[in-house]
Structure 1
């Protein structure tokens, strides 16, 4: 019996085209919640940049954020896995040298460092992300534990940078940037931390995703579901492939398994 379902946001719950949750998904989640199943969000976004879940906010029991680096339920921090400070300093140096924007996400706040026109095109226009806090002071952010680095770099640039960051790993859910977290921080480990907190078993969970950063949680969940708009690696890891986010994918999978 499924006791908890974990949903990625962008490309899974929320359409890249409309920036909204389809009505069918909202109705399906309401039905699932009425059965006593817990609802968790599993996202690469920091919590402060989650701006597109208002229609299901009252159903959500907790969050895996920043690709598993920070997991919480209400006011309870379940787990926090920061990036080694030397890796943070390495990325800042590369950002200065190669002149690319990099989101630096602290425990409480963030900054879009070295922001340029790509920040507006990728984050505000394509992803509808606001509150990027370019005006914050880097020194203040570095006083916090750093949960995630999101540099706007190509895969080729990523291959140059990552060998210098020994305590970190990189993943992508959008082609124009990478999400970098501590080596042990990923959505799959986030799921394990949450269910340990809840007293559930992996077999009692279901997870939905569409990006490369969802592979670990799809593999760890009792039932891993890939959207039709997912990449091939994720589809191969999944137990089930549903239709795309714009073709009622969440509803169709939940109808197949639960409702």
Structure 2
């Protein structure tokens, strides 16, 4: 029996085309909640940039944020896995030298370092993310534990930078940028942290995703579901491939396995 469902946001719960949750998904989550199933979000977004879940916010029991770097249930922080200061400063030096924007996500706040026109095109226009806080001084953010770095770089640039970061891994859910986190911070480990805290068995979990950063949670969940719009690698490791976010994929999978 499924007792907890974990949802990625962009491309899974929320359409890239409409920037909204399909009503069918809202209905399915509501019905699952009525059956006593816990609902969790598992996203690459920092919590302050989760701006598109109003229809289901009241039903959410907890969050895996920043690709697993910060996880909490209700108001209680379960785990925090920051990047080392040395690795953070290395990425910022690359940002200065190679002239790319980089989101710097602290435990409490964030900023977009070296912001340029790509920031507006990718984050505000394509992803409908606006609270990027370019006015925040990066030195103030660096006084916090840094959860995630999101540089706007190509795959080739990512391959140049990552060998210089001894304690980090990278993942992509959008081709225009990479998310860099500490080595042990990923959605799959976030899942394990949450269910350990809640006393839920791994076989009682279900997870939905569509991108490269969902690979670990889809592999570890009792039932891993790839969206129809997911990349091929994710589809190959998933237990089930549903239809796309715009074709009622969440509803169809929940109807098949839960309701």
Is the shorter-chain TM-score for this pair beyond 0.5, marking a shared fold? yes
Which residue number in structure 1 is paired with residue 193 of structure 2?
Answer: 193
Q: State the Cα RMSD in Å.
A: 0.4
C-alpha distance in 2 between matches for 1:231 and 1:138: 34
C-alpha distance in 2 between matches for 1:183 and 1:84: 10
**Structure-to-structure mapping, 1:50-199, within 5 angstroms:** 50-199=50-199
C-alpha distance in 2 between matches for 1:257 and 1:248: 15
Q: How far does the alpha carbon of each residue in 1:192-213 deviate from its partner, in whole angstroms, 9 at most, with x for none?
A: 0000000111101000000000
C-alpha distance in 1 between matches for 2:110 and 2:73: 21
Tell me how far 1:214 sits from its aligned partner: 0.2
Tell me how far 1:74 sits from its aligned partner: 1.9
C-alpha distance in 2 between matches for 1:189 and 1:83: 16
Which residue number in structure 2 is paired with residue 208 of structure 1?
Answer: 208
**Structure-2-length-normalised TM-score:** 1.00
Which residue number in structure 1 is paired with residue 223 of structure 2?
Answer: 223
Unpaired runs of 5+ in structure 2? none
Number of residues of Structure 1 aligned to a counterpart in Structure 2? 259
C-alpha distance in 2 between matches for 1:19 and 1:138: 29
SS at match of 2:234: helix
C-alpha distance in 2 between matches for 1:30 and 1:199: 22
C-alpha distance in 1 between matches for 2:59 and 2:74: 12
Which residue number in structure 1 is paired with residue 29 of structure 2?
Answer: 29
Tell me how far 1:160 sits from its aligned partner: 0.3
Which residue number in structure 2 is paired with residue 240 of structure 1?
Answer: 240
**Structure-1-length-normalised TM-score:** 1.00
Q: How far does the alpha carbon of each residue in 1:135-177 deviate from its partner, in whole angstroms, 9 at most, with x for none?
A: 0011100000000000000000000000000100000000000
Tell me how far 1:258 sits from its aligned partner: 1.0
C-alpha distance in 2 between matches for 1:214 and 1:198: 21
C-alpha distance in 2 between matches for 1:200 and 1:138: 39
C-alpha distance in 2 between matches for 1:28 and 1:75: 25
SS at match of 1:40: strand
SS at match of 1:55: coil
C-alpha distance in 1 between matches for 2:201 and 2:29: 21
